[in-house]
């Protein structure tokens, strides 16, 4: 393994005296629920780095903590009781290794009158700062800083303050605006939108949609925040008749209040044989991974009873991929090509189809998820089966490219825990140099089209950042966001190289 992979394992994942192989045995034993054949199959799959589950599963399976989910969404209502209860609950989740998402739109706007005290409300952004400070204090699982997502609806009176909030700190939060179809239509026609006070549902003021949009574009160009969540598209595709208002920290898991989701990723780089995709091995791995993730729900020690109840009602899992760029290189395909888009559709369609087939089989054998009556399914173990996660540290452990992203560079440096590590792509000397397409050489439209191709065959959402060269313009960001909406993506994020201080990855640091 690379030095950074060994260091990450030592500091975040391995128990005292463990090797990576012993870690995988511990996880396989805990998740297999006493089935020796499954235990061996799970171990082999992970030990070969063909599939890895989300970090909390690797960290906590078979331990006293036992909390194995990566993603949580918690509700926040307009009362001190609700806000501080959620703050306490999020601290518990961070302590166990999970990340949290919140929609702060129920909180009344800044300077609104509070009847009980005759004072003035401080607004949602002030409470996001409170949650941000709490996260600074409590590390996830004692091993990493907590991750959060804050959403605010596009029609909230404090939307402009929210859009600009990242310029004043909030380093423990990703920010996303929940954008509606109605807003996008008004934007295209250069019309006003109504900002609505959540307290009484009355119109607070009218404002040009274009003004809000320009603020989003400007701030996203400055340092990557906020991103956009297309909330109506999320709810259109949600298989259960309940409304989603928020997502997990990276946006790939839209969840109901108190839901959690367990994720895992197949290493696509390992499924190329003699210049072709090994679909037989891919089918077998997808089936085994679905059973693994479904078992995780049963052995999980949930941090709250409400979360356990909601999670088991819908049994959402998210099987995704990493190593897409390396798969393309091994197949002799450029990330910038039409063939790459076609391959993305074919591979994800195959994985989604096989994952659903396995979930149907498990549903018939073990019972479907309890809320199936609220869905379109007849037999299904899991309400959702696929998600594309960013796989930040997991791809480093698997020594492959992250998620569905293009390569950052053939050779680059990465900060981890105060140290600098040099990483060199191991395929560099084996394949033609023209295949090593780095992020800054990928056309803007291609970034979005790749994301849309995966989204078409993904139940949940896709975490992908459109990484832009430093010279990218605000017009580029505008174009990307609009194309993402037209392409039926569920969300979109951009990041302009070098726009944040202390950037984790760099070509020359």
Catalytic residues: 248, 250, 252
Phi, psi torsion values for 260, nearest 5 degrees: -130, 165
Task: List the one residue out of 354, 356, 372, 310 whose CA is nearest residue 69.
Answer: 310
Per the CB < 8 A criterion, the answer to whether 483 and 409 are in contact is no
H or E segment and range at residue 228: strand 227-230
Number of continuous H segments (helices) and E segments (strands) in the chain: 17, 23
Per the CB < 8 A criterion, the answer to whether 95 and 301 are in contact is no
Q: What are the distances in angstroms from CA 97 to CA 36, 91, 144, 303, 371? A: 28, 10, 8, 11, 27
Question: What is the chain's alpha carbon radius of gyration, rounded to the nearest angstrom?
Answer: 22
Q: What are the distances in angstroms from CA 196 to CA 120, 243, 492? A: 18, 19, 24
Task: List the one residue out of 230, 260, 245 whose CA is nearest residue 383.
Answer: 260
Separation between Cα atoms, residue 320 and residue 464, nearest integer Å:
12
| Joined tokens for residue 440 | 């800054």
- In 3-state terms, what secondary structure has residue 319? strand
Separation between Cα atoms, residue 197 and residue 215, nearest integer Å:
20
Separation between Cα atoms, residue 158 and residue 129, nearest integer Å:
14
- Using the CB atoms, write b or e for 471-496: b if 16+ within 10 Å: ebeeebbbebbbbbbebebbbbbbbb
Residue whose structure tokens are 């609505």: 196
Separation between Cα atoms, residue 12 and residue 15, nearest integer Å:
9
| Joined tokens for residue 253 | 């898991």
Phi, psi torsion values for 491, nearest 5 degrees: -175, 170
| Joined tokens for residue 41 | 């199959």
**Residue 214: Cβ-neighbour burial (10 angstroms; 0-12, 13-18, 19+):** middle
Q: What is the dihedral of CA 31, 33, 38, 44, to 10 degrees?
A: 30
- Which distant-in-sequence residues (6+ apart) come within 8 Å of 253 by Cβ? 70, 71, 247, 261, 263, 316, 318, 387, 389, 460, 461
Q: What angle do CA 380, 383, 384 make, to 5 degrees?
A: 115
| Joined tokens for residue 495 | 């990041």
Q: Is the link from the previous residue into 226 a cis peptide, with omega within 30 of 0?
A: yes
């Amino acid at each position: 393994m690379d030095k950074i992979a060994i260091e990450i394992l030592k500091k975040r994942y391995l128990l005292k005296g463990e090797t990576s192989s012993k870690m995988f045995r511990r996880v396989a034993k805990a998740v297999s629920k006493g089935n020796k054949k499954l235990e061996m199959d799970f171990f082999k799959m992970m030990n070969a780095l063909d599939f890895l589950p989300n970090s909390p599963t690797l960290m906590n399976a078979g331990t006293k903590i036992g909390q194995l989910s990566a993603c949580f969404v918690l509700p926040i209502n307009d009362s001190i009781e609700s806000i501080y209860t959620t703050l306490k609950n999020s601290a518990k989740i961070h302590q166990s290794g999970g990340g949290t998402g919140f929609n702060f739109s129920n909180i009344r706007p800044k300077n609104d009158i509070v009847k009980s005290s005759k004072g003035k409300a401080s607004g949602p952004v002030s409470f996001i700062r409170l949650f941000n400070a709490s996260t600074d204090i409590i590390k996830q699982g004692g091993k990493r800083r907590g991750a959060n997502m804050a959403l605010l609806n596009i029609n909230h009176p404090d939307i402009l303050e929210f859009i600009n909030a990242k310029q004043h700190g909030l380093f423990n939060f990703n920010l996303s605006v929940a954008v509606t179809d109605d807003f996008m239509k008004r934007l295209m026609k250069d019309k006003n939108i109504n900002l609505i006070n959540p307290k009484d549902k009355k119109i607070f003021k009218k404002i040009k949609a274009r003004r809000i949009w320009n603020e989003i574009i400007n701030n996203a160009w400055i340092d990557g925040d906020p991103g956009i969540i297309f909330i109506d598209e999320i709810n259109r595709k949600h298989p259960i008749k309940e409304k989603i208002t928020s997502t997990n920290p990276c946006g790939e898991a839209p969840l109901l209040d108190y839901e959690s989701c367990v994720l895992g990723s197949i290493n696509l780089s390992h499924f190329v044989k003699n210049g072709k995709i090994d679909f037989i091995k891919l089918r077998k791995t997808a089936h085994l991974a679905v059973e693994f993730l479904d078992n995780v729900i049963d052995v999980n020690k949930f941090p709250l009873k409400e979360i356990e109840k909601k999670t088991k009602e819908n049994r959402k899992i998210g099987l995704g991929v990493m190593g897409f760029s390396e798969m393309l290189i091994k197949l002799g395909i450029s990330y910038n090509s039409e063939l790459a888009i076609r391959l993305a559709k074919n591979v994800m369609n195959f994985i989604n189809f096989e994952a659903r087939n396995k979930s149907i089989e498990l549903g018939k054998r073990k019972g479907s998820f309890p809320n199936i009556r609220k869905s379109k399914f007849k037999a299904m173990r899991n309400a959702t089966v696929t998600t594309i996660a960013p796989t930040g540290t997991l791809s480093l452990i698997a020594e492959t490219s992250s998620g569905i992203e293009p390569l950052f560079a053939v050779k680059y440096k990465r900060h981890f825990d105060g140290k600098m590590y040099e990483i060199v792509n191991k395929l560099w000397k084996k394949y033609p140099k023209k295949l090593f397409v780095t992020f800054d050489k990928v056309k803007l439209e291609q970034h979005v089209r790749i994301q849309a191709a995966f989204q078409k065959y993904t139940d949940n959402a896709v975490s992908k950042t459109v990484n832009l060269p430093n010279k990218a313009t605000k017009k580029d960001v505008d174009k990307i966001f609009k194309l993402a909406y037209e392409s039926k993506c569920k969300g979109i994020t951009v990041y302009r190289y070098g726009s944040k201080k202390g950037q984790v990855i760099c070509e020359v640091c």
